[in-house]
């Protein structure tokens, strides 16, 4: 039940000046990714500012993306929550709306035990019955999914098919692949570690970089899968200065500015996020130009 292979974009959510979702611009972004090599769209993730959305906005955004994508690309809906019931409601609604898969972040703030994580994920997928990718990002949520927990879940639950690994710990990633016998779809959650995770058997990346460099991010994966390891590695290394600038402030502050610099009018951020500083905007713009991205 592999949902996708390659570079999935953790797509931003464009807003109007009043903070409401700008669906016209979201439609433009969806078409942009369908036409420029992106392999999947991940809607309502961290990069999409899902933490500031109401449940109604969250589901409206997912339904719109499924509708406008028109099956051109797989759509994966971010449906995680620190409330298991809320995550179940979002996940079942996303499945009913036609999402090809769901991305479920570890419960934040509660800091569940590993047994709590197992219970949480099992409850969600047994209700939603749609392919699910676990999302391990302890730097954001305060809790890590241990390799043994990942292995247990993927072996026991048919709908748990993948893991987005953003721990930055390559040893942990290797252990996951060893403990699952490679029977899990592994995606990098860090744009600077795409090639290392592919070398461990990864299927691709869920990417912030793809918002501004979809073709190149796709190519990092495609070249690796085609056996052009050197070409894949060279693209990964070329992208590092840009990736660094895309995370010069907390995600998605820089990438939303980057999209606007390209002329696609991403709109404002929702508080408590604030606009990128002038100094960081200048360094981001330089990195984009150096990478070959045309600015508006």
**239 domain residue, yes or no:** no
DSSP 3-state assignment of 241?
Answer: helix
Check 135, 187, 203, 256 and give the catalytic one. 135
Distance CA 255, CA 210 (A): 10
Low-confidence ranges of the chain (pLDDT < 50): none
Q: State phi, psi for 185 to the nearest 5 degrees.
A: -85, 110
Q: What is the pTM of this model?
A: 0.97
Q: Helices (H) and strands (E) in the chain — how many of each?
A: 12, 8
SS3 2: coil
Beta bridge mates, 102: 77, 132
Residue 19 lies in a domain: yes
- Assign residue 189 the CATH number of its domain: 3.20.20.70
Q: What is the pLDDT of residue 277?
A: 98
Distance CA 120, CA 82 (A): 9
Known catalytic residue at 32: no
Alpha-carbon torsion angle 195, 196, 198, 204, nearest 10: -60
Mean pLDDT of the chain, nearest integer: 97
Strands 40-43, 160-165: pairing is unpaired
**286 inside domain:** no
In a domain, 254, yes or no: no
Annotated active-site residue 135? The verdict is yes
> Is residue 30 one of the residues assigned to a domain?
yes
Domain carrying residue 45: 6-228
Domain count, the chain: 1
pLDDT of residue 1: 81
Strand, coil or helix: 225: helix
Query: According to the model, what pLDDT value does residue 264 have?
Result: 95
Helix (H) / strand (E) element for 188: namely strand 185-188
In a domain, 271, yes or no: no
Catalytic residue among 25, 164, 256, 257: 164
Query: Does 277 reside within a domain?
Result: no
Residue 49 lies in a domain: yes
Q: How far is CA 232 from CA 62, 116, 123, 202, 215, in A?
A: 32, 39, 39, 14, 13
Separation CA 84–CA 120 (nearest Å) = 6
Positive or negative, the CA dihedral 103, 109, 114, 120 is: negative
Distance (Å, whole) CA 268 – CA 274: 8
């Amino acid at each position: 039940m592999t949902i996708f292979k390659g570079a999935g974009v953790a797509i931003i959510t464009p807003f109007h000046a009043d903070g409401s979702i700008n669906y016209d611009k979201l439609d433009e972004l969806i078409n942009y990714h369908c036409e420029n090599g992106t392999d999947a769209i991940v809607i309502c993730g961290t990069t999409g500012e899902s933490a500031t959305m109401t449940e109604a906005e969250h589901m409206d955004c997912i339904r719109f993306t499924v509708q406008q994508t028109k099956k051109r690309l797989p759509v994966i809906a971010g449906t995680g929550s620190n409330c298991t019931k809320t995550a179940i409601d979002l996940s079942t609604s996303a499945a009913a709306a036609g999402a090809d898969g769901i991305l479920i972040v570890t419960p934040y703030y509660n800091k569940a035990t590993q047994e709590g994580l197992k219970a949480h994920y099992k409850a969600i997928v047994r209700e939603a019955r749609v392919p699910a990718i676990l999302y391990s990002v302890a730097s954001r949520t305060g809790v890590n999914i241990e390799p043994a927990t990942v292995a247990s879940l993927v072996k026991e639950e048919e709908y748990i098919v993948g893991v987005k690994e953003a721990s930055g710990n390559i040893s942990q990633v290797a252990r996951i692949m060893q403990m699952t016998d490679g029977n899990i779809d592994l995606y990098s959650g860090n744009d600077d570690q795409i090639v290392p995770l592919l070398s461990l058997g990864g299927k691709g990346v869920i990417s912030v970089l793809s918002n501004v460099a979809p073709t190149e991010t796709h190519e990092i994966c495609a070249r690796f899968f085609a056996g052009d390891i050197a070409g894949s590695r060279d693209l990964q290394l070329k992208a590092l200065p840009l990736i660094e600038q895309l995370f010069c402030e907390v995600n998605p502050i820089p990438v939303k500015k980057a999209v606007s610099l390209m002329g696609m009018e991403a709109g404002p951020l929702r508080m408590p996020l604030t606009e990128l500083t002038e100094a960081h905007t200048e360094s981001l713009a330089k990195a984009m130009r150096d990478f070959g991205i045309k600015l508006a």
